[in-house]
Amino acid sequence: MGDIKLLILDEDISRINIIIRIIQDKFKNIKCIYANNYNDGINLLKNEKPNIVISKYSITSNNNFQIINIIRNDNDLKNIYFITLVNTEDDINNIQLKNISIDDYCYSTISSDKVFFRINSAIRILNMQKQIRDENELLIQLAEQLEVEIQDTIKLAVKFLEARIPSTIDTLKKVAEASVWIAKSYNSLTTEQIRDLEIAAYLSQAGRIYLNDELLNTPVMVNGRPSNEFMYSVPKLGKEILSSIRRYEEVSKIVYHIYENFDGTGIPDQLKSWQIPYESRIIRVASDYNELKTIYKKTPGQAIEIIKSEAQRLYDHRVAILMEHYVKSNEKTEKNENEIAVNIIELKNGMTLTRDIYTEKGLKLIPSGAVLTASIIQKIVSHNTSDPILGNIYVKRL
């Protein structure tokens, strides 16, 4: 640390002068400033932003406590090292009882050794804190740089897929957007897991690049079974490609299990229900919905009905329901401009539901079109404690 500012707050001018002489004798890089009243001290504190404060404690005044509060609650001042001058052990006990956040204390009977020791300790701690802040800033910069490199890697990988499988970028973008929306709506994944989910969605077709040309536009699964014998290798090939990149270890697992069926009849490992990674279940629904629209030319409404009809056999029912919410919120042909999403605490008598209310266990609790009453709202609230409502609740815009 370079030059250091030290602020002394004390009504006793003679003691201030003693401290200044000791510091100037022992430390050549410390600039001393002082105030002998509260208001001047606050002004110096805010204008000079010192590194260290030495303040006299008084049991009959709250000035110390107020100064500490100002320092600890101000982002520009919170790293100040605060030393309190005390007269007795009782002062120390009183400080502890009031939970005043000081860094150190020194008895007001000033001696050169005491001041040197306290200031030297303060400088060491300030240097360590600065080093930690600098290292954290460096870590943030490295994380941002890594994120840029990850994005570049994804773009490069998708371009390779695009060269092999036409229209891949637009397709994968739609799958990724739907997948992230569903994950955030369910609110069970961490930010890091959602990031891996998004990457996995963009790279979900990696295993298809080794297929023969005539199979590139063929769905991997048809009615819950591989469309031909070559499709059995798609999950394994995708995992092998992605697991070679250390950062994509979790991503490769997600991609590997996308084609598992919810009832345990899928590929590659016949995982069932909750054994299948939740991220894989999400991407499967988003990907199949997109295939139903693009390959089978289904309308958004038709595609969603097919997805819902296969819930519990091919798909997690929760993901199927949230996929319907996504479609009705984002597909132009399905979007209802006269509805708004609300949470449970916002429900009021007279509101009209525009979508069915489902619970996490798959129970259709209240149908679309129902007009809310006090008893219906109470039913929703009560049920939510044991079997939470899935996603938002949608009502007519008033």
Token pair of 375, please?
């008893």
Q: Reduce the DSSP state of residue 303 to 3 states and report it.
A: helix
Please give the Cα distance from 359 to 365 (Å, whole number).
7
Please give the Cα distance from 53 to 16 (Å, whole number).
12
Question: Measuring CA to CA, which residue among 141, 259, 147, 139 is closest to residue 199?
Answer: 147
Residue 172 · residue 197 · CB < 8 Å? no
- The string of pLDDT tens digits covering residues 67-101 is 888 888 888 898 899 999 888 888 878 777 677 78
Pick the range with the lowest mean pLDDT from 235-239, 243-247, 271-275, 320-324: 243-247
Residue 34 · residue 52 · CB < 8 Å? no
Please give the Cα distance from 225 to 53 (Å, whole number).
72
Token pair of 278, please?
């939740």
Please give the Cα distance from 342 to 357 (Å, whole number).
12
Task: Please classify residue 3 by burial: count the beta carbons closer than 10 Å to its beta carbon, then call 0-12 exposed, 13-18 middle and 19+ buried.
Answer: exposed
β-pairing verdict for 52-56 and 4-9: parallel
E strand or H helix that includes residue 86:
strand 81-86
Token pair of 66, please?
């107020």
- Say what the pLDDT of residue 61 is: 66
- The string of pLDDT tens digits covering residues 15-67 is 999 999 999 998 989 999 999 888 898 999 989 999 999 988 875 566 777 88
β-pairing verdict for 52-56 and 81-86: parallel
Domains of the chain and CATH, by start: 4-136 (3.40.50.2300), 165-335 (1.10.3210.10), 337-398 (3.90.105.10)
- pTM equals 0.67
- The string of pLDDT tens digits covering residues 97-148 is 677 788 888 888 888 888 899 999 999 999 988 888 888 888 777 767 766 7
- Say what the pLDDT of residue 158 is: 75
User: What is the DSSP track for 364-392?
Assistant: EEE-TTPBP-HHHHHHHHHHHHHSPBPS-
- Say what the pLDDT of residue 222 is: 96
Token pair of 336, please?
């209802």
Q: Which residues of 292-321 are buried (b: 16+ CB within 10 A; e: fewer)?
A: bbeeeebebeebbebbeebbeebbbbbbbb
Which neighbouring-strand residues pair with 222?
Answer: 225
Percent of the chain with pLDDT over 90: 59
Q: Does 311 score more than 60 pLDDT?
A: yes
